[in-house]
Structure formats: C-alpha cells, structure tokens
Structure 1
C-alpha cells in the first residue's frame, strides 16, 4: 500500500489548487493521469529531481540526454521550436469589451448555435526542467458525449504552426518526437453524470453563470471571482462544454464586468482566425483572451511569462500555455 500511496503523491494527479479538489468529479486530465498510473510499470519510475513542471501543474520525467536528442543538440537548430507570442496588428483599433457584449447579445437573440456537451481544443504547453531547456508540447483533444452519458476522448499530437512536421510529446515517460497526427490516446469512459459544475449544464444568464463559475472555482468566500480566477474558470468550462450563443453572451458580460481586461486590438490566432485581443497582467504572467470579432465567442487564451525565470530557462514573453477552441 505504501508504494501505491507514494506513486500517487509523486504524480499529484489532482493538485490542491485544481478546480475539482474536494468533493467535485475529476477532470479529463486527472482521469487520464490516474488511468496511466494504474497501468504503469513501477520499474519505469525515475527520481523526483528530474520531474517536469508543466505550465501550471503536470509532471513527467526527462533525462538530459533525451532532451539533447530531441532538440538537436548544441549548435544545431531545435527540432521543435516554441510558439511565438501572438502580436496585435499594427494600428488596429482596440474594441471595448462593452461593444463585444453587444455583439454577443445580438448573436444570442438569434438563438443559435446551441450549447453542446463536449469540446474540441488545440493546446500548447511549456515543459520545464532543471536539467534541460524548456520544450513545447502541442496536442489536439476532442471529447464527444453519447446519448447514454458515456463519452469518448481522442488526443492527437499535432501542431498547426508546422503542418506535417514531427511533434514533441510526453507519451510514455520520456519526451520524444512522433509523426504529425499521431494518436496519443483514445479512451471511452462509461456513463457518468454530476449535478456539480462543470459537469452540470451551464446556465445562460450572467448572474446564474457567475454563481456556477464561483462554485466550480471552489471559492469558499462571498467575494466575487478575481479576473484571474474568472479566466481559469472559463478555461475549465470550455474544457467540458462548447458554449452556445446565449452562454457565450453571459460569459462575455462577466468578463467585461471584471474590469481588468484591457482591449489590445485585432490579431490572427494560431489557427488563422481573426480575433480581438484583451489582455490581463497578473503576477508573473500576462494573459490574452481572444474573442471572435463577429460573435464575441471565446476563440483562445494565451498565457505568457511576464519576467525571466533563469532556473528553468524561461524568458519574459515565452508562451507558457495556449488553448484554441473549435466548434
């Protein structure tokens, strides 16, 4: 028993800052991590010093020799380059969030599209280690629910910035290159349902959605969510649901009411879509929310480092995490 407990503590599949800590259900990442742990050969475990620190939480192990092989070695161009932070188009006029609220309300009045359970997201996460340079792991995840409340999750290694090029993945216990489109996992989960967020159906009025996101964030005070907490909660929500026009309108109104998102101007996101950018500068990071300029639907969320971190080779402006949601 002690071996199993040590294994779970080291892997930390459900960190205490996670939205589901406590009495809520596990999210998809935690379920995948627990499933892999249950089938993992303990002889493959490595000392904790070599453990990877993902942009916000995850873990893996990377020998320095493997990093040299993957990245091409000293003096050679890296096989996998980190994405550059998104930049706003020069001389583009920033659009106030209040104007995006009006666009979202107009889209909601049409009544479509509707809310859909499941998600389709492409993401980039920065892996950091004490023993090697940071590396970026891109992947695409599609979650589809069935009428009996079972669901299927497919995770693929792919990077739209470099179509057809090899992709770095943490599949197994050592980061390595795989072919573009390589299926990392295909999992079917049995029927399940919960009346707690984010499993419960999200409401479409701003007040009800605020309460829903507050419950999902597991804040035990009556204080309103901070902008950072609201962005975290929105990202978690979009990891479970594809919002309809009414839910998107409620979410944009909450973001506008937060007051800390600064309009930055027009840009093109990582999937080639036009977007309006809104920036929030938190402690040590800069977060950029990208909205569809026609409907104010959330297209993406980027987190970049606001200052250097020499210990892990991170420089100000490095992309720590990026998510791009598709319908």
Structure 2
C-alpha cells in the first residue's frame, strides 16, 4: 500500500499553483489523467478507469467488512457479460457508418455539453473479494460554463433494492452520493471544446484529449472516445463521425446484435487486448455509442476474478 500512496502523491496532474483547481477537487479530466498515470506506472495490476469517488467507496466498504465483523457480501450482484444474440447477423462498422451518415442528414439530435451515464465498476484489492459499484452520473453545464455533477447509487438490474453507497454502507436505491457544482472553466482544449465532424480532425482531437504525442492505437482510441462521452452527449453528426472513425480502426470485430443493460437493442464490436476484452455497443440505426463493456479474458486468482467477469460497463443516455 505504501508504494501506491507514493505513486498517488507523485502523480498530481493538477499543480498547487494551477489557475483553477489549485485548492479544489479534481475535475473529470484530471481524474482520468491521474488514472492514466496510475495505469502506466503499475501495469502489472489491471485497474478499470473509474473515478476517485468510486475508489473511495470501495475502500470504505472493504474497511467496513474487515473491521465491523460483517462477513456477508452486500446484496449487489456483479453484472453478467452481455451475450450476442445467437441468430443475429454481424454488421460491419463500414455499413453502420453509412447508416449513421444517412441518419445524420437532418442534423438532429444536436450536440449537447453534459452527460448522463449508468456505470458498473469493479474494485479489486489483494486477498479481498472484488466488489462492484453501480452508479448513475448526470453532468449538466450552465450558460456561464459552470457545471453540476450529481452521482446517484442505483442499479437498473435490481430496481428498488439497496445498493452500495458512501462509507461502504448499503443505501436506498436512488440515494444521492454526491452533488457538486464546479466554477466556470474557459478551457478550449479537448475534450472541453466541441468535437469536430471531420474524421481526420476528430482523430487529432482525440489524440490531444488523450495527452498523446503519437497516433492512438485501438485501445487508446476507445479510451479517448469514452473520455469524449464523459463530457459531451453527441449529436447525430458527431456520432456519425465517430462511427466513420471507428470503421477505419483495426481490431474491432463485428459480433452481432445484443440487448444492453438498459434494454436497448445494439450492435456489438469486440476488441481483444492482453488480459481483457472490450465490447463496443452501438445503435444499429444512428451509429451512436450506447455502451462499452470491459471483461477479463483470463482469471487472476490474486484478485479473485475469473475469465469473463465484467471489469467495467458504461451505458450512455440522452
């Protein structure tokens, strides 16, 4: 634990003399930057890209289980991997991109800053069982460039049942975990600036958003798209541009039709990377990204995970 704490102290993506966040909490971009630094410095430990708030909840839960004598696992089940419909026909990303382009002809819906996402994230630690935290996050931006973020403990897979909340306690479904308003930010750097609707410019935009000086590989590109969706609710034209970009990306295999965790019909595309698989779920008519699921492709007894366990899942809504 000591070495991890030291890594956290040294990572610090926001210096104390920074112009905006010197004495305040990290914003979403800083959290993602910190997480990226951590994954680069500790490659032997597969960690999902989740926020610091969720990490704190898991840490508190582990402490509660250890020091209060509680031995029964909370009544929150980890989601099962999505299954591709057996009789469905795979659709190439090129074909989907053409559909998305046609659907975007009237330019509706429009691009909107802000996001609404339901997520499930697994927390792992040495010699302790993995724990899945379900959250719904709503981010709304105001005219003065301030924004409000509300995080709610809820699990659509088990409506009405208690879910994990702050300090590792079970809370009622819909319990507000946090509500914060952030002051205006006038940054025009990606992903704060509006995404372009040209494929080449979008590729450069995502590379800048990922703080990379070199072209992004497929894994990095999917991470950058996830970062984009953490800031913007894409319009029809932006979704079509993302679809065209992904159609030019190597390693994404069409699988067929799935029903996502919010009951929506989607097309699945798989990317395999060492130790994990990433499933991209896209709207079959508009090409909009509906979700991203990461599963372990091999067991890791040290962390109590099996091949096929869901590492993280995000479902975006309008």
Which whole-Å CA distance do the structure 1 matches of 2:68 and 2:118 have between them? 22
Match of 2:293 in 1: 302
Which residue is 2:233 aligned to?
Answer: 242
Shift in Å at residue 66 of structure 1? 2.7
Tell me the equivalent position of 2:105: 109
In the alignment, does 2:253 pair up with 1:262?
yes
Q: Which moved more, 1:275-284 or 1:106-115?
A: 106-115
Normalising by structure 1, what TM-score? 0.81
Q: How does 1:1-327 map to 2 (within 5 A)?
A: 9=6, 11=8, 27-28=27-28, 30=30, 55-56=48-49, 58=52, 59-60=55-56, 61-62=59-60, 66-67=64-65, 73=71, 79-169=75-165, 171=166, 174-221=167-214, 224-327=215-318
Query: 1:175 Cα deviation (Å)?
Result: 2.0
**Alignment check: 8 A CA contact 1:64 1:131 kept:** no
Structure 1 residue runs of 4 or more that deviate by more than 4 Å after TM superposition: 6-16, 22-26, 29-32, 62-65, 68-72
Shift of 1:131: 3.7
* 3-state SS of paired residue (2:278): strand
Q: SS in structure 2 opposite 1:267?
A: strand
Please give the per-residue CA displacement for 1:31-90, whole angstroms capped at 9, x wherever unaligned: 69x9xxxxxxxxxxxxxxxxx98523654435757337999736xx75111100100011
Give per-residue Cα distances to partners, 1:87-143, cap 9 Å, x unaligned. Answer: 001111111111100111011212111110010001110011214210100000101
Cα distance in structure 1, aligned partners of 2:10 and 2:179: 19
SS of the aligned residue for 1:258 comes to coil
Structure-2 change in CA distance of 1:68 and 1:179 (3 Å): farther
Q: Give the superposed CA RMSD.
A: 3.1
Q: How much has 1:260 moved relative to structure 2?
A: 1.0
Question: Cα gap change, 1:63/1:96 in structure 2, threshold over 3 Å: closer, same or farther?
Answer: closer
2:211 match: secondary structure: coil
Displacement of 1:195 after TM fit? 1.4
Q: Which runs of 5+ in 1 are unaligned?
A: 1-5, 35-51
Cα distance change of structure 1 residues 31 and 258 upon mapping to structure 2, 3 Å threshold: closer
Is 1:71–1:80's contact at 8 Å kept on the other side of the alignment?
Answer: no
The separation in 2 between residues aligned to 1:93 and 1:325, in whole angstroms, is: 24
Structure 1: how far apart are the matches of 2:19 and 2:205? 15
SS in 1 for 2:248: helix
Gaps of 5+ in 2: 35-44
Distance 2:20 2:226 in 1: 17
